[in-house]
Amino acid sequence: MKTKDRQAFNALNGKGSERADRLHRFLMESGFDFATGVPCGVLKHIIANLVGDKRVCHVPANRESEAIGLAAGAYLAGKKPLVYMQNSGLFAASNDIASLLVPYGIPALMLISYRGCEGEDAVQHLTTGHATENLIRSFNLPYEVFDGRKRDINACVSVLIGLMTERELPAILLLKRGWYV
Amino acid sequence: MKRADVIEIVATSTQCDDVIVATTGLISRELFERFDSERNVYIPGSMGLVSSVGLGIALCDTNHRVVIIDGDASLLMNLGSMVTIGSRRPKNLLHIVLDNGAYASCSEESSMSGTANFGLLAKDVGYKYTATVGDREALKRAILSFKGGPGFLSAITELGGRRDFRRPQKLKEIKRRFMRFMSRQPKGKI
């Protein structure tokens, strides 16, 4: 990994992020008005923006499965839900995604931090990191990986919103550490 | 009191604009077969999440009352949800737990509800109204007298009863039907 990339990857303590703010504006324009999840440092700008926005009904969850249930209920009551969590939580909530969101056809947008990929320094993330994309592919869910380089984040989200609406499925944006730098 | 009694009383003592969200297994299946309605949501797979789905509905549409039919083992699987409900305090939410001390939809293996006092716990985490009921009349009275929540009812029930209910299968149709129901405004005030 190059030094510049390494710095971005480890930029967990940076202040506000222009990219996160742009993403937030796009999410609001797209009509998302409910958010739930379990925090991860990699997602802190996203969460702070959601918490600070009165247009969003934000209900923190104790664990990721609970967030899936809350998002399902919000959708059934006419809201457009966002769910945020770490990919470790994606595994904890995988049956709830498979047995509630998928058969009911609930299109929640899931913003998931992607720990355990190249450069990871925390051993507990390695197994789930390795399995994350395989899990999502085996569930046949639309997803994109964003690492802060090359592509525009709002373009990724736009593709996912189109797919989740058309296919009536949850869609996942995997965000690597340093995605907002 | 049997599971059949609780299902029947919840379905017939609630108002027609009330939402009913039923937990995994025989509770959903019995409600579906005997009292299927556009106002019902069945949680067939993700055991424990019924109270989270109910809370999500209650917070996002305060024009409808939301009645959750949970089970003791299901509640224990998502106990943190009670704390979330207590922290948000939705007035339009009534959480009923059918407590038979077992995983009744499996082979009636014991759960650990026997040493837990759900009513005390509910009160402690912020539910406004709690009661424990052991017969049909008390359950009916508790539902009819429910004014403002979040409310918690522990319904003590016996094991046994019919098991050969159909399963809700067409969940996307159930979703569309429910969302149409929710988009209509209730006639009366809650």
- Domains for chain B: give ranges and CATH numbers: 3-183 (3.40.50.970)
pLDDT band at A119 (very low <50, low <70, confident <90, very high): confident
User: Where does residue B109 rank: exposed (0-12), middle (13-18), buried (19+ CB within 10 A)?
Assistant: exposed
**Bridging pattern class, strands A34-37 and A57-60:** parallel
Tell me whether B58 touches chain A (CB under 8 Å). yes
The tokens for A41 are: 């440092």
Enclosing H/E stretch for A41: none
Q: Is the pLDDT of residue B94 over 60?
A: yes
Amino acid at A128: T
CA distances to A50, A111, A162 from A155, in Å: 20, 14, 11
Computed over its alpha carbons, how large is the radius of gyration of chain A?
15
Which residues in chain A have Cβ-Cβ distances shorter than 8 Å to B49? 65-66, 68-69, 72, 96, 100
d(CA A177, CA A147): 7
User: Where does residue A55 rank: exposed (0-12), middle (13-18), buried (19+ CB within 10 A)?
Assistant: exposed
Coil, helix or strand at residue A141: coil
- How far is it between the farthest Cα atoms of chain A? 48
For the entire predicted model, the pTM comes to 0.95
Q: What is the pLDDT of residue B189?
A: 52
Tell me whether A105 touches chain B (CB under 8 Å). yes
d(CA B26, CA B44): 9
pLDDT band at A6 (very low <50, low <70, confident <90, very high): low
d(CA A63, CA A124): 18
Give mean pLDDT, residues B147-172: 96
- Domains for chain A: give ranges and CATH numbers: 3-176 (3.40.50.970)
d(CA B167, CA B171): 10
CA distances to A4, A20, A145, B44 from A7, in Å: 5, 18, 19, 46
Angle subtended at Cα A142 by Cα A27 and Cα A77, rounded to the nearest 5 degrees? 55
Q: What is the pLDDT of residue B185?
A: 76
Comparing CB atoms, the residue among B50, B88, B175 nearest residue A104 is: B175
Q: How many helices (H) and strands (E) does chain B have?
A: 8, 8
Per-residue model confidence as pLDDT tens digits over A83-115: 999 999 999 999 999 999 999 999 999 999 999
Q: Which residue of B has its CA nearest to A61?
A: B84
Which residues in chain B have Cβ-Cβ distances shorter than 8 Å to A75? 56
Q: Is ipTM over 0.95?
A: yes
Which residues in chain A have Cβ-Cβ distances shorter than 8 Å to B88? 59
Q: What is the pLDDT of residue A180?
A: 87
Q: Write a three-state SS string for A94-127.
A: HHHHHHHHHHHCCCCEEEEEECCCCCCCCHHHHH
